[in-house]
Every structure is written in structure tokens, then in C-alpha cells.
Structure 1
Amino acid sequence: MHSKTALSLALGIFFAASALAQQVTLPLPRLLTVMPMGGQAGTNVEVTITGENIEDVTELTFSSPKIAAKPVAGTTNKFTVSIAADVPVGVYDARVMSRLGVSSVRAFSVNKLPEVTRTKANNTVETAMALPVGTICNATMTKRAVDFYSFQGVKDKAVAIDCAAVGIDSRLTPVLILADSKGGDLKVNRTGGIIEFTPPADGTYLIKVSDLTYQGGERHFYRLALQNSPAQPQPQTATVSSMSWPPEGLAATAPAKETEPNNKDAQKITLPCDIAGAFYPAADVDTFEFTAKKGETWWVEVASERLGLNTDPFVLVQQAKDGKFADVAELYDIAPPMKVTSNGYSYDGPPYDAGSPDVMGKFEVKEDGIYRLQVRDLFGGTRTDPNNIYRLIVRQATPDFSLAAWAVHMTLRNGDRASLSKPMALRQGDSRAFEVAVQRRDGFDGEIDITMENLPPGVSAAGLKIGKGKPYGHLILTASSDAKRGFSLAKIVGKATINGAVVARPVRVASMEWPVKDAKGEIPSPRLMADVPVSMTDSEQAPVTIALAENKIFEAKAGETLKIPLKLTWRNEFNGTSIKVKAYGEGFSAIKEFDIPIKAATHELVLNLAELKIAPGDYTFALQSLGICKYSYNPAAVPLAEAEQKKAEQLLAAAAAEAKKIAATDAEAAKKAAEKQKQAEAAMTAASTRMKSVTTAANPTDTVEILISEPIRVSVKPATVTTASK
């Protein structure tokens, strides 16, 4: 089990006894669907949203200021979205502001093509929905069925068919089939790519869409694009693996291109180089030849999977000897900086993989001579797709780094595993921990300082330094106990000194596409977010706040014992008699686990700096634990629902009395009165259902929560050198 990210579950046996009856982490707002899930630039589109823990929604916003939304009057889940004409084609993040703050994000696609939304079933050849060429259709997959679309093909005029799903947050694994007018299969694509088709004759052709395992429902949505060929694939969200691409300062397009045929007859190049190529046709091996001198070291990077493609690049370097080429180096995948979960639910690492099947490595030239570099896709033996492109860079060492952050996750000893989207939505007195992983480039191994800017009032952040050569650090986000409701788009930055100069690199934030309550049955699917939305809510408070008794920097000399008084504010009932506490932070993560009694108002943290081997310097760390607290969801809604129910009862009684009074006097009036009574009965049923729902939610529930302290700052001074020691 990963020592820092798994949160030290020595108390797991205690948790296991009640695990089946508890929820994991406090509820956070999550936006689940936006339908339709995109629109044409320069148009308005009405969307319907669904989610969980998103009551009292006040606004729907996007990661582009050129996409705006207004609520549809008289509704609680509909918005009119206005997309400016100059919004570039792409995928943008949508999120809502609710009682608990900003929600998790959902992809919203913008294109230049006209768009339609399927509104009725089309699960047979006879009910196929007609789709004009040059159109995108938004739809949700029908469970245990196939969706049919028809179009009019023109002889020798090629079309491109593309079903976007995986790259737009859908849970659909699309199977795309091009068929004749009777439904006979002509071309099949099960890998999410484009089907290129040139009709042999004028006529009607069919497109069939299904899920690989015939799943369906509102979370299995897709955007089916039918265009004239050639066409680019629809845009996608960024994978977590793409956090290391592109290198800083790289041109948007490569200055050189591979030229076929270059499988056997090598393409001559000079180093350094930056070349655009494609794994095309099937089993393509692109070969580049160059001269190199003894003592040179060249770093090789290939990007393809990080461009959003289902590829696995491999590089082989060879040297010419005696008329033949001998292998010098094999360059494979980019290793993840942190060991990731091995099977999706065992917590032997986080559920976020910042590694990639792409290539980043080096080879050293031992002798002057002629060398060859071969690039191939290990998945490309049978695939012929010109869209499977790559970017090859060969350079001398350019030390640098890339960063990505994600909320700390947890598991329970009994194997229950939740991988939940965790938006940066804070409660009063809340502290949240985020892991910050680094991909180091070309030998860089220096320290990295993490900072966060542009936070809502009452919210602060402390970056826990990534140590020399270390793969990750932490970021602690803290809300004061009296902070007011607020929202901002923040910025996280990592700074390091490289070759004597301070460089700053952005930190991208990753989140789960869907809240996975039990990852034994569903593999979590994370991605990078487009920006860093942060919110503060004053509707709830954190179950406990672990703070400093004095807000100051604590000072001590190296080798001394440092005592730090803590102040604890307990707001919820907790199970057990104590919480077990460890620490995050370079140098201080070795603090031995200790107990803090439940309900203790104070605690003294004693640090043996000699035992911890803390060198002189300035440090920031935070304490971390797990606890099971009693949590009531939105209890303020109960009296409101009760009042609504009483009002409905009164209206129903009045309507029933009126209907009874005029029943025998006027047939027309009696009919209207009966209809009014029927409406009142429906309102009463709805009010009773809501009352039951909010009452159930407000009942205290055992909730396992990650408990993080406010950041603790320590300045360690050099030890005093005595005359005797000299």
C-alpha cells in the first residue's frame, strides 16, 4: 500500500466493522449530464442538466467566457446556452454553482457543423433517423439495442463517419458500423476511429451505433458526425497522461515531416530534429538515418497517445556496422511518477496515471558513425488509419518538468473502493489535500515549489515542496471557519531553478469523469480539467478543524525538540475514541503516527528534529488522518419541505371541499373543480415524496472522511556550534 496516498490505514479493522453502512467522503456537488452535450458555434442551444448534490443551482458556467448560459424561466434544470461565433472547435468544461459550491465538470463540445438531437427511438432499419451529410447528431445510447441512422450517399463522393464518446466524458464504448440500405455490414470500427467510405453508387446507406457490451442510458451519450471526407476527428478532453506534453516552447507544428516510403529506405535527417509523422499504413515502420559523434547524448521524445490516440509508440536506435545495423537502444513507455493502482480498485497507488505509452528516453553515442532511428506503433500491425499521427523530437538535454494535481483518494481495509470526482468545493473550516505529481524531463531532478493564486476570499493554499528527485508533493487548500460563499478560477504553479534560472510551469488538475462508488465493478476514468475552479460555501462546515493554536512560523535549531500546540474544533459526532494522525510534507512525512483523542480541544505536537533528520531550512507540512463522523445532508431543507407539504395539504383540502360543494350544482364547474382537485393531489404527492427524500437524507449517516490540518510552517536554524565542539 502506498505509504502517503493511502492515508495510513492501521485503523482499518475498526473501519471494516461499519464499512457496509457508511458513505465515503462528505457529499460534493457533481454535474453528471448536459444534454445535448454540445452545440454549433454562433448558435443558442437549450440544455437539460442532471447531477447529484446540486440543489439550489444558481448558474451554469463554462471554461470559455465566450460560452454563456441563462436559466430557462420556470425550470430548475434547463438553461439556454449561447455560443459565440468565434468560439474555436473544441471541448470545454461545463459546471454549475450549487448550495455546496462548484460542481465537478462535464464536457461540452463546440463545432462548426449544424447540430441535431435525436428525439425518438431509431432502433430498426425502418425507423432509422435521416442524417444529412455535414451534420452532428447528439444522442444517448439505447440499452440492449442498436441506433440506426440513414444518409444519402453520392457515387464516388467520400464521407467520414465519427462517433465521439470516450473523449467527451461518455461511458459508452462505441461500435460504429457502415451498412447498406438493408442493414448489411460494409465497414466496422470498434476502436473509436473514423470510418472513411466512398459510395460505389448513389443510394441510401445506414450507420449503426451500439455499445461494445450493449450498455445504455443517459450516461452513455455520443456525438455522431457525418462529414465529407477528408475530416478531422472530433475534439477530445485531455488525458492525464498528456500532462507531460508539449515541452515548453515547442512550436505548434513540426518544421519537418516524414516522407514515405521510409520503411526500408531510410529518410536522411540531421540532429536535432522535430518531425511530424503517421503510423500509416498498417505495420508502418518509419526509419530515419543520421550521423552522430562519440560522446553525444540525445534525448528522444515521441508524442502520439498523449495527443489522444490509441497508440503505443516504440523507438529502436541502431548503428551501422560492417554493412549491417546493430541495435543500440530500445526506448519504451514514459513511466508514471507515482505507482498507480494495479487493477482499478486495490489501493496500491492512486487511480490517476500520469505515465504514457509514448516515448521519452535517451541514447548515448559510443562511436562516431551512421545511426538509424525507427519509429513504430506496437498496436499498429493491422490498423490502417492516417489519423494515427505522431511527433518525433530528438534533442540535446533540455532539463524541465511538467506537473499535474489531483485530490487525495482513500480506501477501506475491507476492499471497498471509491474513486470520486472531488471538485475544489470547500466548506467552512475545511482543509483538502491534493497530490502534485511531476514528470521530470531530460535529467532534471531539482526541488519544485508549489504555489496557488487567485483564490476566493477566505480560502488559502500552501504548497508542500516536491523534494530533490522526488516524484510528487502535496498542495493543501484551506477555508477559514468564517469564510463566505465565493468562487474563482485559480492558478497553480510549480517553480524550480534550472541552470541558474527560475522557471515556472503550470499545474493541471485531474478529476474523475464519473463518481465511481465501487471500483470493483467499474474501472475509474480520469481526465485533465480545462481550468481550476474553486468555490467556498457557507451552507455547511467541516466536521473538524485541526488548526494551530498560534498562527505563526515555528522556529527551532537543527537537532532540537520542537513543540507545536494545536487547536481542534469538533462540529460532528465521531465514532471511536481517537483519530490516528500522520503527516504530509518533505522531511516531515516520517513523523511517527500518533493519536488525538476525539473531542480533545487541544493537542501538543512534539517533533524530534534530530530523529527526523531535518536539515536547516524552511518547511511546510500538514497532518492527515481518517475519521468516521455522523453527517446530516442539508437538514435546513426539512422544515422547508415540511412547510411545503402542509401548504399542499391545505390546498388539497380546499380543492376537495370545493369539488364536493359544487359536484351536484353545475356539471361544467364540477369538472373544473375535479381537475383542480386532481392537480392538488399530484402536488400533495410530490410534496410528500420530497418530504420523505429530504428527511431521509438529513438522517445522520456514518461518513468516512479524510481529515487534513491547516498547513504548519517550521523554520529550522543551524545548530549552535560551541567552542568545545570546534
Structure 2
Amino acid sequence: MKIKSQTLLIAGLFGFLFCCGANLSAQSVCLPAPRLLTTTPMGGQVGTQVEISVSGEHLDGIADLLFSDPHLTAAKKLDAAGNPEPNKYVVSIAADSPPGIYEARVLTRLGLSSSRIFSVGTFLEVTQKPNTTLATAMELQVNSICNSALTPRAIDHYAFEAKRGMRIIVDCAARGIDSKLDPVLVIADADGRDLLVERRAGILDFKVPADGRYIIKVHELTFKGGNTCFYRLVLRELAPDAQITRHPATRTVNSFSWPPQGLPEAPSASEAEPNNDVSKPQSIALPCDIAGSFFPAADVDVFEFDAKKGEEWWIEVASERFGLPTDPSLLVQRVTREGDVEKLIDVVELSDIPSPVKVSSNGYAYDGPPYNAGSSDPLGKLSIPEDGRYRLQLRDLFGGTRNDPRNVYRLVIRQA
């Protein structure tokens, strides 16, 4: 009996040790991943050398600063005694380096870090000085870029001189260069009175009303700040009829991409004004591929076409998928006449592309694909009920007060 108890005790002990060993062997131990969070400044001018400092997480033992293109090289910055300064580098940008965005990484004893965007441009580059009040506004030259970071609960002020009639463009690169900043831009007069405001990460297109000094204000939408709320403020002059181009930026990838497979990159036609009145519709022939814009405010573009009974067409509008703050809506009506009286019969109304993700019956989970591929762009089929004339009206449901010619769209109608 005693021997049996001892046997059971030993067997239990071995079982306990075996389970503990199995649990220990199942645990995985990972070294921390190095993360590069900021480079200051965030860019430089073609053909120059820039002194930058880097910061991040788990960057102990930094060996090198590396770039995604051989036109950019970095060497450690040395102090007066010839010793490397911690986390500081001198970046050389080749004279033939193409303007744009590049990836920067640091090599550490833990491996290669995550990347951070480094911009290269052709304008003069400067770095922010203390400028959180109107009295301390930092002077900027037209056609220059300022590398800055916002202080929490503060507004950065910049000043520039301009002459009447000049077209001034103010752009703020933030989210597109890996910043956490949602910028608000303001142009004000010399006394700080606001003249023009942009709150949707767009640009300011400002026609100077009189010679003098003007102020640019920059703040975060919710007044956040810190070293991750960095930005590049671009101040430049543009010809009155020139096309506006934005500061180079990364692009987000959506579950829905544009253009669809097989569609040409450029549309074959453009809307012809005035087509924003039902009495002056633009005549089109199907199939078609038309570019237009929701401009001016409350714009409704009207098109008419002939079709025969039994025809089926796919109608698609792209605007929100261009990254624009729009919500297109489309209505197709059959046009008939009774004497001199025009009669309209609704055929189809298209609005959003629905998401394939659906709430499950129990309300606690989701059914369908594990991605959200919905969009506020319209997509649907038009079945022609009778021979005749048809009218298509296209509008932006958000465009009642928006007077922005950059809110463009592309209307594509193709055989189903």
C-alpha cells in the first residue's frame, strides 16, 4: 500500500513537471520591434544637405539611416571633437533627385526599423521657430516650405508679404507624410482677422486683394499636438490659370479601387455647361465615359440619351473613391410628352454602393466578407422599359453649400 502511494506520488510529480515544461516551451519570446516615428525636419531641397534628428521607440544602438532611393544618403553628424552626435545625421540630396516622397529607416541592433516618409522638393526649406502668437509670427518667403510640429492647444502663426492680384496657394502636408495631424488652415489679414479657412485637409487658393502683410494660422482640428503632429507648410505663388498640384503624399488603399479593370485612365468626354438646368440638358450617346464636377454649389448636372426597350446598362459614378468628401446621387427618368406638357417617369435611382458586411441575426456579430467595401458612390443597373428619351440627373448630396471645383466625378455607362 505504501509502495503504491509512493508510485502515484512520483507519477503525479512527473505529470506536473511535464505540463509545466509544455507550457514553457509553448511561450514565444519576441524582441521589441524598432519604430522610427519622426525625422526633423521632414524633408529637404533638391541638391542640398540637411541636418536631421530622428526619434522613435526601441532605437538603441542606431548604426545607419537608410533611404529607399540612392539619390539620398546619410552620414552621422559629428560634434567639434569628431564624435557622432546621438540620433543626428547629415542627409545629402543629389541634384538630380526627383521631387517626391521617400522612405527613411534606421538600422539598429534589433534590426531594421519601420519606415517614415521623407519629402524632397524644389522650394527653399526652413524649420519652424517659436510662433504661437500673432506678435511672434514667423516670416516666410513665397515659394518656400516650412517644416513644423504643433504644440498642444496652440496655433502656429506665419507671416508673408504679397501684392494685389497674386494667386497664393497654401498647402499643408500632414496625413500624407505619416503625421497624426488633421490640420486647419487660415489666411488672415495683418491684424489676424480671418479671410479664408480650410478645415478638411485641403488647400487655400487665395487671390490677394491688396498689397500688404498676411498671416497664415495652422492648428489641429481638435487642438492636439506633440512631436507626432508634424507638418510641412507650403507657401507658393501660382499663375491665375495654372492647375493646382498638391504636396506629394502617400495614398490610402481601399477595398474598392478605381478605375475598374479595363477602363481607360482618362475619360473620353467632359460635361458641357450649361447642363445644370433641365431645360438645357447635355445630349449623350451610350456607352459613355464623362468627367465633370459638382460645381458651383448645389450643382445638378443633367444628361439626356436615347435608348431602346430591353437594353440593359451599368451606371457607375466615381467621386468619393477619388478621396473626395462627396456623396453622389443619380436619378434616371423616362421623358414623354402629352401635347406640350412634359411628363417624367422615374426608372431608377442609385445612391450608395452597399457594404457586403452585414450585422448577423443575433446582433452581436457580422456576416459576409471580413472587409468593408462599401462606398457613397452610385453603382447599379438600368433596364430600359420602353423605346424613347431618358434623362439622367447627377448631384452631390453634400454639395448644397460647397463651392469647390475640385469635387470632381467620373460618370461611366457601359453595356450590361
Query: How many angstroms does 1:358 deviate by?
Result: 2.7
Inter-partner Cα distance in structure 2 for 1:376 and 1:90: 35
Query: How many angstroms does 1:206 deviate by?
Result: 0.5
1:321-360 → structure 2 map (5 Å cutoff): 321-322=336-337, 323-338=342-357, 353-360=372-379
Alignment partner of 1:121 is 2:144 = no
Name the structure 1 match of 2:27: none
Name the structure 1 match of 2:383: 364
Inter-partner Cα distance in structure 2 for 1:44 and 1:293: 67
**TM-score normalized by structure 2?**
0.78
Name the structure 2 match of 1:381: 400
Name the structure 2 match of 1:248: 261
Matching residue's letter, 2:392: L
Name the structure 1 match of 2:306: 291
Cα displacement string for residues 505-549 of structure 1 (whole angstroms, at most 9, x for unaligned residues): xxxxxxxxxxxxxxxxxxxxxxxxxxxxxxxxxxxxxxxxxxxxx
Of residues 175, 183, 207, the one that matches 2:192 is 183
**TM-score normalized by structure 1?**
0.46
With over 3 angstroms needed to count, the CA separation of the structure-2 counterparts of 1:262 and 1:336, relative to structure 1, is: same
Name the structure 2 match of 1:150: 159
Query: How many angstroms does 1:352 deviate by?
Result: 6.8
Inter-partner Cα distance in structure 2 for 1:235 and 1:147: 22
Alignment partner of 1:222 is 2:222 = no
Cα displacement string for residues 256-296 of structure 1 (whole angstroms, at most 9, x for unaligned residues): 22222211122222222222222211112222222222233
Name the structure 1 match of 2:118: 108
Cα displacement string for residues 453-500 of structure 1 (whole angstroms, at most 9, x for unaligned residues): xxxxxxxxxxxxxxxxxxxxxxxxxxxxxxxxxxxxxxxxxxxxxxxx
Query: How many angstroms does 1:394 deviate by?
Result: 1.9
1:260-299 → structure 2 map (5 Å cutoff): 260-264=273-277, 265-299=280-314
Of residues 237, 246, 249, the one that matches 2:250 is 237
Inter-partner Cα distance in structure 2 for 1:338 and 1:95: 37
With over 3 angstroms needed to count, the CA separation of the structure-2 counterparts of 1:42 and 1:104, relative to structure 1, is: same
1:128–1:149 contact (8 Å) kept in structure 2 = yes
Matching residue's letter, 1:185: D
Query: How many angstroms does 1:122 deviate by?
Result: 0.5
Query: How many angstroms does 1:58 deviate by?
Result: 4.5
Alignment partner of 1:302 is 2:317 = yes
Name the structure 2 match of 1:68: 72
Inter-partner Cα distance in structure 1 for 2:62 and 2:311: 60
With over 3 angstroms needed to count, the CA separation of the structure-2 counterparts of 1:174 and 1:329, relative to structure 1, is: same
SS at match of 2:376: strand
Alignment partner of 1:164 is 2:179 = no
Matching residue's letter, 2:329: F
**What is the count of residue pairs matched by the alignment?**
366
Inter-partner Cα distance in structure 1 for 2:274 and 2:247: 29
Name the structure 1 match of 2:41: 36
Q: Name structure 2 gaps, 5 residues minimum.
A: 1-29, 78-83
Query: How many angstroms does 1:327 deviate by?
Result: 2.7
2:71–2:96 contact (8 Å) kept in structure 1 = no
1:69–1:79 contact (8 Å) kept in structure 2 = no
Inter-partner Cα distance in structure 1 for 2:92 and 2:394: 45
With over 3 angstroms needed to count, the CA separation of the structure-2 counterparts of 1:205 and 1:66, relative to structure 1, is: same
Name the structure 2 match of 1:141: 150
Q: Name structure 1 gaps, 5 residues minimum.
A: 1-24, 341-345, 398-726
With over 3 angstroms needed to count, the CA separation of the structure-2 counterparts of 1:94 and 1:202, relative to structure 1, is: same
1:116–1:136 contact (8 Å) kept in structure 2 = yes
Inter-partner Cα distance in structure 1 for 2:344 and 2:46: 53
2:127–2:148 contact (8 Å) kept in structure 1 = yes
Query: How many angstroms does 1:210 deviate by?
Result: 0.9
SS at match of 1:240: coil
SS at match of 1:167: helix
Inter-partner Cα distance in structure 1 for 2:73 and 2:124: 20
Inter-partner Cα distance in structure 2 for 1:213 and 1:347: 32
Query: How many angstroms does 1:101 deviate by?
Result: 4.2
Alignment partner of 1:52 is 2:89 = no
Query: How many angstroms does 1:29 deviate by?
Result: 3.4
Query: How many angstroms does 1:178 deviate by?
Result: 1.0
1:408-487 → structure 2 map (5 Å cutoff): none
Query: How many angstroms does 1:97 deviate by?
Result: 4.3
Cα displacement string for residues 421-456 of structure 1 (whole angstroms, at most 9, x for unaligned residues): xxxxxxxxxxxxxxxxxxxxxxxxxxxxxxxxxxxx
Name the structure 2 match of 1:207: 216
Query: How many angstroms does 1:242 deviate by?
Result: 6.8
Inter-partner Cα distance in structure 2 for 1:374 and 1:80: 57
Query: How many angstroms does 1:26 deviate by?
Result: 7.6
Inter-partner Cα distance in structure 2 for 1:362 and 1:393: 12
Matching residue's letter, 2:119: S
Inter-partner Cα distance in structure 2 for 1:242 and 1:38: 31
With over 3 angstroms needed to count, the CA separation of the structure-2 counterparts of 1:145 and 1:378, relative to structure 1, is: same
Name the structure 2 match of 1:515: none
1:238–1:308 contact (8 Å) kept in structure 2 = no
Query: How many angstroms does 1:111 deviate by?
Result: 3.5
> CA RMSD of the aligned region, Å?
3.0
With over 3 angstroms needed to count, the CA separation of the structure-2 counterparts of 1:255 and 1:183, relative to structure 1, is: same
Cα displacement string for residues 567-590 of structure 1 (whole angstroms, at most 9, x for unaligned residues): xxxxxxxxxxxxxxxxxxxxxxxx
1:300–1:361 contact (8 Å) kept in structure 2 = yes
Inter-partner Cα distance in structure 2 for 1:131 and 1:353: 43
Name the structure 2 match of 1:259: 272
Inter-partner Cα distance in structure 1 for 2:164 and 2:397: 36
Cα displacement string for residues 189-234 of structure 1 (whole angstroms, at most 9, x for unaligned residues): 2122222222221100111111122111111111212222453233
1:314-713 → structure 2 map (5 Å cutoff): 314-322=329-337, 323-338=342-357, 353-397=372-416
SS at match of 2:176: helix
Query: How many angstroms does 1:240 deviate by?
Result: 3.0
Name the structure 2 match of 1:3: none
Query: How many angstroms does 1:89 deviate by?
Result: 4.9
Inter-partner Cα distance in structure 2 for 1:69 and 1:347: 50
With over 3 angstroms needed to count, the CA separation of the structure-2 counterparts of 1:191 and 1:291, relative to structure 1, is: same
Inter-partner Cα distance in structure 1 for 2:384 and 2:232: 49
With over 3 angstroms needed to count, the CA separation of the structure-2 counterparts of 1:84 and 1:308, relative to structure 1, is: farther
With over 3 angstroms needed to count, the CA separation of the structure-2 counterparts of 1:100 and 1:203, relative to structure 1, is: same
2:126–2:144 contact (8 Å) kept in structure 1 = yes
2:46–2:95 contact (8 Å) kept in structure 1 = yes
